[in-house]
Structure 1
Amino acid sequence: MSKIFHPLLALIASSTDRELAKYVEFLKHENRILRSRLPKQVHTTADERRTLLRYGKVIGRAIEELVSIVSPATFKRWIREEKSGRTKTKNSKGGRRKPRELRELVIEIALKTGFGYTRIIGELRKLGIKKISRQTVRNILKEEGIKPGPDRTSDSWSDFLKRHGETLWGCDFFSVKSVTTKGIRDLYVMVFLCLQTREAIVTESTEHPNSTWVCEQTQKFIEQSRGRDAKPTMIIHDRDGKYTKEFTKTLQQSGIQTNPLPKASPNLNGRCERFIETIKLECLAKFIIFGKQHLDHLVSGFTSYYNTCRSHTARDHLPPIRELPDEVVVLSRDEIQVVSHVGGLVKSFEQKAA
């Protein structure tokens, strides 16, 4: 009888071992995925180390392939320390978390100033706070996901745009094919765009975008924006050859600075580029342009619609030069009318005049 059951028991045991091996293999891959989502270094507590030792020592040398939360050498060091009775104790002078108020102060200084941890230490010293080290400040910043290095003080492009607000404008050119008596010609248009409000001012077109034409259109832009509260103070533009010294001088005479953008960086003037794409796709691409007057008429009509009627996500879905009414207005269908723009190409819904 024993000869019959012995192979059967061996088969059952081997089958169980194979199933366990599959379980272990799955858990190893799952643990590897989970570890990839965690920081490279995971700090364990004393209780956690004791738990790992209790279940890891009985595995033997196989622990070298299984352990992933620490290196095999660290795990062996834990075993040696346990056998010798020595445990790693923290320095009584350090290792304790700083008070919450101090941690919040460090984070506030970092976020509001952009300083690195060395300059944050200087701010704390001026406040009379001495019992905090550079490494502690660095650790606090890293725990909050704030880059501790001093290069955070470098200005970002988004911060630059926010700081200048409504007084910062972008400038760019675009061309359109036009059918004329002399054949197909390129007509050039100059665009000025407020980078915060998205208001657009578009010039008359020309076949010859020379320096004289650029200066004339720039002067018209200055005159058109002169009477407003937030007058332009800076114009950003690419390094197109049409931006001559006369162009810069024309702006400087009205107290407006120019800021040429780095080469091959169209994204820095992306909002102006986006307006050009909008007027081309939503308007000009739907017409055959017949000469300068036709193009100027279409551009003027669409620009007026864009500034007063076309909603923009950056403006909380309001047009560039329209503000939300102070009071919530409830209108009936009879009080709403459909207004056509650019010869009926685009439409908007407006409240009927009283």
Structure 2
Amino acid sequence: MGRVFQPLLFLLARCTRNELIRQVEWLKAENEMLRKRVDKKRIFLEPEEKARLMKLGQGIGSDLKHLITIVSYNTFLSWLRIERGGHKPKKMGRPRTAESIRKVIVKIGSETGWGYTRIMGELKKLGLKPPSRNTVKRIMKAHDLDPGPNRGPDSWHEFLKRHAETLYQCDFFSKRVWTKFGPRQYFVLVFLHLGSRKVFVTKCTRKPTTEWMIEQAQRFVEHVKSTGQEATLLLRDRDSLYRQDFDKVLRGAGIKVKKNSVRAPNLQAHIERFIQSLQQEALDYFIACDPKHFDYLISEYVEYYHTERPHQGVGNVPLMGETNGQDGFTPDAVVCRTRLGGVLRHYERRAA
């Protein structure tokens, strides 16, 4: 940059006063033309750039008001006052919304799906002065919340959440089992309680006949009664293995059977995730030698699933097992327990 300005400095040094005036006028006109072609109406300067302009401007004095274009002359004077220890000017525009009110807006919006107008009413009811409508909109959008009210149909997630304590899902899975006649496909029916994530798994069968399906429906009803839980709704897919008599037994027990929509793969996500975990964490490691061996593998995993395996959906703790506090903890007290020959592992404290 120094090489660029050296010829200009030499030229100015040889000029007379009138020539200097004409050259300054030329530079000023040229600067104005360039400024008109700048997209930004306001140019934001770095601290070192401000310091450089203040140093040059103080040497010019009041004549600077006829030259300065990058900012107003009053702005330049405010820079000087701040540099000399004066007070910074007050920020322009509305004051920022209090963080506590912002948190309440986000809390209400995320928990209810209400629009900004309803949220403003809730703030008034709480004795809080709500910010402007546009401010509430901006706060909601900043947290990925739709400022418009949720008047559409209920989401599947909200439906499951609302009915979780009385809703079950059921689904089949199968595995090839070695028998004296060679490998055969055996089927298992699983029921999952959505609220607790607990499962009820049937014994395997070679052929899910009508009689077998009726028996499993009856056993499921008895299981629900024994747990003290209430079942009002059962979700299942449209597999041809289900029989009308299976649904009839459930309806007779006050359980409504809801078939999933066609081409809606996510409607059975919870029970499908359990079956996937059962297969990946246990069954894929074994060749089932006979139906009893297959049932044993499943029962060991179900016990592990209920009492020893942490679950993210319920606070990352076991469904039925106990958790220990941190009192008296030492690394030597942690021991590993296994099932299925070490395929399934969990850790607990050694008994005192």
TM (normalized to structure 2)?
Answer: 0.61
Equivalent pairs counted in the alignment come to 272
Matches within 5 A, 1:145-184: 145=141, 146-184=145-183
Paired residue secondary structure (1:144) = helix
Instruction: Read off the aligned partner of 2:289 and give its amino acid letter.
Output: F
Instruction: Read off the aligned partner of 1:236 and give its amino acid letter.
Output: L
User: What is the CA-CA distance between 1:191 and the residue it aligns to?
Assistant: 1.1
* CA distance 1:348–1:260, change in 2 (3 Å): same
* CA distance 1:285–1:110, change in 2 (3 Å): closer
Matches within 5 A, 1:111-126: 113-116=112-115
Distance 1:222 1:238 in 2: 19
Distance 1:218 1:279 in 2: 22
Paired residue secondary structure (2:226) = coil
User: Does 277-286 or 257-266 show the bigger shift?
Assistant: 257-266
Distance 1:258 1:68 in 2: 66
Matches within 5 A, 1:308-323: 308-323=307-322
> 1:59 aligned to 34, 50, 54, which one?
34
> 2:343 aligned to 330, 342, 345, which one?
345
Q: Residue 20 of structure 1 aligns with which residue?
A: none
Paired residue secondary structure (1:225) = helix
Contact 1:115 1:153 in 2 (8 A): no
Q: Residue 236 of structure 1 aligns with which residue?
A: 235
Q: Residue 290 of structure 1 aligns with which residue?
A: 289
Distance 1:119 1:337 in 2: 54
> 1:144 aligned to 132, 140, 150, which one?
140
Q: Residue 204 of structure 1 aligns with which residue?
A: 203
User: What is the CA-CA distance between 1:296 and the residue it aligns to?
Assistant: 1.0
Q: Residue 222 of structure 2 aligns with which residue?
A: 223
Instruction: Read off the aligned partner of 2:338 and give its amino acid letter.
Output: S
Distance 1:351 1:207 in 2: 42
Instruction: Read off the aligned partner of 1:212 and give its amino acid letter.
Output: E
Between the two proteins, what is the percent identity of the paired residues?
Answer: 33
User: What is the CA-CA distance between 1:163 and the residue it aligns to?
Assistant: 2.1
Paired residue secondary structure (2:225) = coil
Paired residue secondary structure (2:190) = strand
Backbone CA RMSD of aligned residues: 4.3
Contact 1:114 1:153 in 2 (8 A): no
* CA distance 1:341–1:110, change in 2 (3 Å): closer
Distance 2:171 2:228 in 1: 24
* CA distance 1:199–1:222, change in 2 (3 Å): same
* CA distance 1:249–1:119, change in 2 (3 Å): farther
Instruction: Read off the aligned partner of 2:254 and give its amino acid letter.
Output: G
Q: Residue 251 of structure 1 aligns with which residue?
A: 250
* CA distance 1:103–1:331, change in 2 (3 Å): closer
Distance 1:104 1:278 in 2: 38
Greater gyration radius? 2
Gaps of 5+ in 2: 8-30, 43-92
Q: Residue 306 of structure 1 aligns with which residue?
A: 305
Contact 1:106 1:137 in 2 (8 A): no
Contact 1:301 1:342 in 2 (8 A): yes
* CA distance 1:137–1:228, change in 2 (3 Å): farther
Paired residue secondary structure (1:177) = strand
Distance 2:167 2:249 in 1: 17
* CA distance 1:106–1:273, change in 2 (3 Å): closer
Instruction: Read off the aligned partner of 1:319 and give its amino acid letter.
Output: P
Q: Residue 41 of structure 1 aligns with which residue?
A: none
Contact 2:173 2:275 in 1 (8 A): yes
Instruction: Read off the aligned partner of 1:302 and give its amino acid letter.
Output: Y
User: What is the CA-CA distance between 1:339 and the residue it aligns to?
Assistant: 3.5
Contact 2:116 2:136 in 1 (8 A): no
Contact 1:236 1:260 in 2 (8 A): yes
Paired residue secondary structure (1:227) = helix
Instruction: Read off the aligned partner of 2:140 and give its amino acid letter.
Output: E
User: Does 148-157 or 292-301 show the bigger shift?
Assistant: 148-157
Instruction: Read off the aligned partner of 2:245 and give its amino acid letter.
Output: E
Instruction: Read off the aligned partner of 1:265 and give its amino acid letter.
Output: A
Deviation readout 1:236-287 (Å, 9 max, x if unpaired): 2222222333222222222222332222222232221121111112211111
Instruction: Read off the aligned partner of 2:293 and give its amino acid letter.
Output: H
Matches within 5 A, 1:88-127: 113-116=112-115
Contact 1:197 1:321 in 2 (8 A): no
Paired residue secondary structure (1:231) = coil
Gaps of 5+ in 1: 1-8, 17-55, 70-94
